[in-house]
Amino acid sequence: MELLEHQLLEVQRVAGVVQDKLTEAQSAKTLYDRNASSFQYGRLLDCMMEASEHAEWLTDRLRGFVLRNTFNSPLKEDYCLKLVQIHEIRVEYDDCILKAELPMLLPHRKKKYTDYIYKPFFLALQNWCEERQQQGKEIPVYEKATVCFIHEYDKKMPETRIRDHDNIEEKQVVDALGMYFLVSDSGRYLDTYHTTTLGERDCTFLFLMERNRFPKWICKRNHLDIISKNHLNPATGFSTG
């Protein structure tokens, strides 16, 4: 019981910090509205960023608290399903290609906290596989595969937001895919490909397929408005530079 009490007190403490930062942000906004001070605007952004960071920590602790202390299996399964639904993660399988949609951009590779994306993604894959198994449907396993990341940026926002592909964190996503669908995620067995497009919102699409299917598949997507560092030669399916 002491451990539970400690966890509850810690959650309450962080919730209080989030509330305090939001109150500070509201005060900064009020002052900014009066005199359009760049200092107050910067203070507003700083408070909102700190509130957001603590909120992420709070969500992670609350999620962990529920999963560690819920011993009723149906209740835990229902909770995990709700997490996936809340994050609007979609997983589909068609024509031997696994597709996953994440309603956000992947974080920068130097960002310390990334569980807010990967834990729900892992649960989404787990739930999808369990449902397929219950329905007697195939769960694909790829021996030599390619995973294509399509990073879609909101076209209404400045294009300066678009990041270099080598600055995008992919490891934990690949780890989650490897847990369920790959023989191995080493370089011998898995190729990764990144491309960027402009769309209606920020999101990330993942397409996982056998390596020999990828050149033909990516060539069919040439009609899309894709901004990519890896341009494929439509005739050969290999990189032109």
Write down the pTM of the prediction: 0.67
Could you read off the pLDDT of 62-92 as tens digits, one per residue? Answer: 877 777 777 777 777 777 667 666 667 889 9
What pLDDT, on the 0 to 100 scale, is given for residue 38?
A: 81
pLDDT higher than 80, residue 47? yes
Could you read off the pLDDT of 89-123 as tens digits, one per residue? Answer: 889 999 999 999 988 888 777 665 566 677 788 88
Mean of the per-residue pLDDT values of the chain? 82
* Token pair in block for residue 33: 């509205």
Mean pLDDT confidence for 2-11: 80
pLDDT higher than 80, residue 222? no
pLDDT higher than 50, residue 41? yes
Pick from 140, 201, 147: nearest CA to 170: 147
Pick from 38, 48, 131: nearest CA to 84: 131
Could you read off the pLDDT of 164-202 as tens digits, one per residue? Answer: 888 888 888 899 999 999 999 898 999 999 999 998 888
**Cα–Cα distance for residue pair 66/70, rounded to 1 Å:** 6
What pLDDT, on the 0 to 100 scale, is given for residue 225?
A: 47
Total count of residues recorded for the chain: 241
What pLDDT, on the 0 to 100 scale, is given for residue 160?
A: 84
> What DSSP letter does each residue of 160-226 carry, written as one string?
GGPPPGGGB--HHHHHHHHHHHBS--STTTEEEEEEEEEESS-EEEEEEEEGGGHHHHHHHGGGS-E
pLDDT higher than 50, residue 238? no
Residue % of the chain over a pLDDT of 70? 85
**Per-residue confidence band for 159, with pLDDT thresholds at 50, 70 and 90:** confident
